């Protein structure tokens, strides 16, 4: 077996020198030389209001003790498979191979966490049988009557349960939070209210916290058709679009797709996988709170008593924002406004697009699952995480 592996490496290296492997060879060589990462391990943690959250733990191949655990948190209508859709678009395994201890969470209502039974039934219509996962059936708490929750529940219930569990399991007093879209918004909100939170640094990928009206055509359409969107969400959820996406890939496009994907930057087969594995229903409370953000331009609590957008000035944690040039939901210009308002001394913002020398104009989701994300976005994130200006002596729990 070892001889076969050595021969494969020698063959690919020879082909590279001859120009035969070209752009695909470095990735193949890296995969052959890198040790196989350990399979993710299932964990469940209970929140203070008795919901069960699912975490996938990716133990580091070779742990560097200076690197605190990393929590990956998905966005609206997604689950933790977003970070590991395929080996070549898996930020979870990319970081795992580089010595990071990675924890990928599904928030309430998503993945193998507690969610409405109706949502589990809807998934079966696109032949997604993940709701029948025996471990999930045992560890998820019944969701028959849990039909609604807000983004505030993610902030005030899910985040503290996740932070306490990961620090308790690892022995580190801090984590790095990497959030995409809503997964970034909730950490912005949490840090604005808890400046002393056990978060060493924060990576906000396409995290929308501010916009000005009128916004782009897609957001304006969303704002004007809010009532229709809410009715459609109650009756069909995300399942209809997901089923179409599984069958047709990127052949059928809707206005919602333009908000979240630059589909020319995503492999067609991966789009099918994305809709098959990664789509979850949106609760009425979640949708209503985010529609309020689109209308007002500020992200606020559901009762409008806390302005999370205004609170970013209180954030002191080192923060990296990742933006996509063609992101119609978290526009780079509006993210730059948040960058300027952040109270953090150490902060960066980086836009990924052709104007900056990258191979594609990135959209909202393809910052992680795009054709070139592994070669362009992932290394930039890892460079930030390993920067001497960010990494400090780990704080013991």
What was the pLDDT predicted at 224?
80
What was the pLDDT predicted at 389?
56
Token pair belonging to 326: 């063609």
Per the CB < 8 A criterion, the answer to whether 337 and 347 are in contact is: no
The dihedral built from the CA positions of residue 199, 201, 206 and 209, taken in this order, carries a sign that is positive
| DSSP code, position 344 | -
What was the pLDDT predicted at 270?
92
Instruction: For residues 161 and 348, give the distance between their C-alpha atoms in angstroms, rounded to a whole number.
Output: 28
What was the pLDDT predicted at 107?
98
Torsion from C-alpha of 58, 189, 117, 143, nearest 10 degrees: 90
What was the pLDDT predicted at 35?
62
Instruction: For residues 278 and 242, give the distance between their C-alpha atoms in angstroms, rounded to a whole number.
Output: 9
Per the CB < 8 A criterion, the answer to whether 322 and 367 are in contact is: yes
Token pair belonging to 77: 């209508």
Backbone dihedral angles phi then psi of residue 250, each to the nearest 5 degrees: -100, 15
Instruction: Please tell me the pTM assigned to this model.
Output: 0.88
- End-to-end CA, the chain: 43
What was the pLDDT predicted at 188?
98
Instruction: For residues 293 and 290, give the distance between their C-alpha atoms in angstroms, rounded to a whole number.
Output: 5
Listed by start position, the domains of the chain span: 1-33, 37-386
Spell out, as residue ranges, where the chain has pLDDT lower than 50: 1-26
Give 333-377 pLDDT, tens digit per residue.
999 999 999 999 999 999 999 999 999 999 999 999 999 999 999
What was the pLDDT predicted at 216?
81
| CATH superfamily entry for domain 37-386 | Alpha/Beta hydrolase fold, catalytic domain (3.40.50.1820)
CA count, 13 A, side-chain hemisphere, 274: 25
**DSSP assignment string, 298-343:** B-B-TTS--BTTGGGGG--S-EEEEEETT-SSS-HHHHHHHHHH--
Bond prior to 357 in cis (omega within 30° of 0): no
Residue matched to tokens 């916004």: 215
CA nearest neighbour of 312 among 336, 344, 286? 344
What was the pLDDT predicted at 59?
96
CA count, 13 A, side-chain hemisphere, 180: 28
CA nearest neighbour of 73 among 169, 161, 192, 205? 205
What was the pLDDT predicted at 392?
58
CB atoms within 10 A of CB 269: 11
């Amino acid at each position: 077996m070892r001889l076969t592996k050595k021969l494969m490496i020698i063959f690919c290296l020879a082909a590279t020198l001859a120009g035969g492997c070209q752009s695909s060879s470095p990735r193949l060589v890296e995969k052959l030389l890198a040790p196989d990462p350990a399979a993710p391990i299932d964990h469940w943690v209970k929140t203070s209001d008795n919901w069960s959250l699912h975490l996938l733990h990716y133990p580091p191949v070779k742990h560097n003790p200076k690197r605190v655990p990393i929590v990956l948190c998905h966005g609206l209508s997604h689950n933790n498979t977003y970070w590991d859709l395929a080996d070549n678009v898996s930020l979870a395994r990319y970081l795992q191979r580089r010595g990071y201890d990675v924890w990928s969470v599904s928030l309430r209502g998503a993945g193998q966490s507690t969610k409405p039974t109706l949502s589990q039934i809807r998934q079966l219509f696109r032949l997604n049988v993940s709701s029948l996962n025996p471990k999930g059936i045992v560890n998820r708490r019944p969701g028959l009557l849990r039909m609604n929750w807000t983004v505030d529940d993610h902030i005030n219930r899910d985040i503290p349960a996740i932070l306490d569990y990961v620090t308790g399991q690892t022995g580190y007093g801090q984590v790095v939070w990497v959030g995409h879209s809503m997964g970034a918004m909730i950490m912005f909100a949490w840090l604005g209210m808890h400046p002393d939170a056990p978060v060493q640094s924060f990576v906000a990928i396409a995290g929308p916290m501010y916009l000005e009206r009128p916004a782009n055509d897609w957001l304006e359409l969303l704002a004007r058709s809010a009532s229709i969107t809410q009715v459609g969400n109650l009756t069909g959820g995300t399942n209809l679009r997901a089923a179409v996406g599984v069958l047709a890939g990127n052949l059928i496009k809707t206005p919602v797709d333009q908000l979240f994907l630059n589909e020319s930057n995503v492999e067609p087969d991966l789009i099918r996988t994305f809709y098959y594995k990664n789509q979850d229903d949106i609760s009425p409370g979640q949708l209503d709170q985010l529609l309020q953000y689109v209308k007002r331009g500020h992200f606020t609590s559901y009762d409008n008593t806390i302005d999370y957008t205004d609170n970013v000035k209180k954030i002191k944690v080192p923060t990296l924002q990742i933006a996509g040039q063609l992101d119609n939901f978290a526009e780079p210009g509006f993210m730059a406004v948040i960058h300027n308002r952040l109270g953090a001394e150490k902060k960066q913002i980086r836009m990924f697009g052709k104007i900056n020398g990258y191979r594609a104009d990135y959209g909202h989701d393809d910052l992680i699952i795009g054709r070139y994300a592994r070669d362009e976005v992932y290394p930039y994130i890892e460079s930030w995480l390993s920067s001497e200006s960010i990494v400090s002596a780990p704080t013991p729990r």
